[in-house]
Amino acid sequence: MDLFRRLRWPNLTLMAFLLLSVRYFMMVPIFDSYELNLLLNHVDMALLVGSCLLVAAGGYLINDYYDQEADRYNGRATMPQPAQVLRWYGILSVAGIALGAWVGYRAGLLNLAIIHIIATFLLWKYAESWKGVPLLGNLLVSGLLGLMLFVPMVYEYIAVSVLYREAAASARFLLYAGLVYAAFSYLTNLVRELAKTAQDMEGDAQAGYRTFAVAYGAATTRRLSVILMLVVLLGLMLINYQQFVQQAWYNLGYLLLATIVPAIFALVQLIQSKESAQFARASRTLKWLLLGGIGSMAWFYLQLLYF
């Protein structure tokens, strides 16, 4: 049960939703409109999602393995069987890499397994040492989330190349939309990572980690988080303004409720945060913001179909 809990199922579910949304709410509608086919079938896509989740789950386990001392100071449950956690880390990571290689083979690009190998290595280095370097670990984890959005596109590189030859404008739109979502996911998660360093500052300091909050203090961490949150909010307001100009009222309504409202809540919570519990509340709000932003892919797709 302890091992099961350490897999962070809500986070893994959010990652699966992200990957499936890119495939079925962004890529499939564009390819269908030109009667073009994607190379991977539904089973292949399920295996690709599974490979990414296995690597991520392994990353959570190895992070907890190296975080045992900090977790004790932060009042979290201790790890009763560290050797078992380490063994399952190896199993999950190898299985994720193997699945990634198989799906790459199915896509005609076996070398794509390097993506999973690099991600596994980076997650191990993050847990082993990089999370204790101010800002480096935060940038790394957030960057991996942002780049994950492009995994379905990269595995369909051959099909995307055909789309570019047949309809370059639509291929560029797919890329630009991906960049917007990646930037949103990256910045939002970076703010969340900073909030978490402030939340765990005391335990991290006792364990010898030199995170950003430990190195520069909670006040500086709060100020940087607020600045980055203002950038996120500004970007969201620009997107909402675009929907307003286009008179896309259903999209505007969704974005206001699912992104602007939680972004404002998160900003206010960050401004007011001084203690660990307050930073924890801001972190939870930011996770809802991520869900709302990623969910807009599904909303835009459904809006085109039924409204």
The per-residue pLDDT for range 191-241, each reduced to its tens digit, is: 999 999 999 888 888 877 888 999 999 999 999 999 999 999 999 999 999
Among the listed residues 25, 114, 115, 95, the one whose alpha carbon sits nearest the alpha carbon of residue 295: 25
For residue 146, is pLDDT > 90? yes
- Name the pLDDT band for 82 (thresholds 50, 70, 90): confident
Q: How far apart are the C-alpha atoms of 228 and 254, rounded to whole Å?
A: 23
Report the number of secondary-structure helices (H) and strands (E) in the chain.
16, 0
Per DSSP, 8 falls in state -
Q: How far apart are the C-alpha atoms of 90 and 124, rounded to whole Å?
A: 11
Torsion region of 182: left, alpha or beta (phi above 0 gives left; psi -120 to 50 gives alpha)? alpha
Q: How far apart are the C-alpha atoms of 263 and 270, rounded to whole Å?
A: 10
Q: Which residue has the higher pLDDT, 83 or 75?
A: 83
pLDDT at 202: 85
pLDDT at 150: 96
Q: How far apart are the C-alpha atoms of 303 and 299, rounded to whole Å?
A: 6
Give the tens place of pLDDT for each residue, 9-65: 899 999 999 999 999 999 999 999 999 999 999 999 999 999 999 999 999 999 888
Q: What is the mean pLDDT of residues 113-120?
A: 95
Q: How far apart are the C-alpha atoms of 113 and 121, rounded to whole Å?
A: 13
Entry pTM: 0.93
pLDDT at 68: 77
For residue 244, is pLDDT > 90? yes
Q: How far apart are the C-alpha atoms of 104 and 173, rounded to whole Å?
A: 24
Q: How far apart are the C-alpha atoms of 281 and 198, rounded to whole Å?
A: 12
pLDDT at 75: 59
Give the tens place of pLDDT for each residue, 92-109: 999 999 999 999 999 988
pLDDT at 232: 97
Q: What is the mean pLDDT of residues 122-143?
A: 91
- Name the pLDDT band for 81 (thresholds 50, 70, 90): confident
Computed over every residue of the chain, the mean pLDDT equals: 91
> What residues contact residue 167 under an 8 Å CB cut-off, 6+ apart?
34
Q: How far apart are the C-alpha atoms of 66 and 72, rounded to whole Å?
A: 12
- Name the pLDDT band for 110 (thresholds 50, 70, 90): confident
Check the CA dihedral 206-208-212-217 and report its sign. Answer: positive
Which 3 state secondary structure label does DSSP give 93?
helix
Q: Structural domain boundaries of the chain?
A: 2-306
Residues 48 and 18: beta-carbon distance below 8 Å? no
Q: How many CB atoms lie within 10 A of CB 168?
A: 10
Give the tens place of pLDDT for each residue, 281-299: 999 999 999 999 999 999 9
pLDDT at 74: 62
Q: How far apart are the C-alpha atoms of 255 and 274, rounded to whole Å?
A: 29
pLDDT at 4: 67
pLDDT > 90 in the chain, percent: 77
At CA 145, angle to CA 140 and CA 150, rounded to 5?
120
Alpha helices, DSSP H only, in 107-257?
113-128, 136-148, 151-155, 157-166, 168-199, 201-207, 212-245, 249-255
Q: How far apart are the C-alpha atoms of 222 and 217, rounded to whole Å?
A: 9
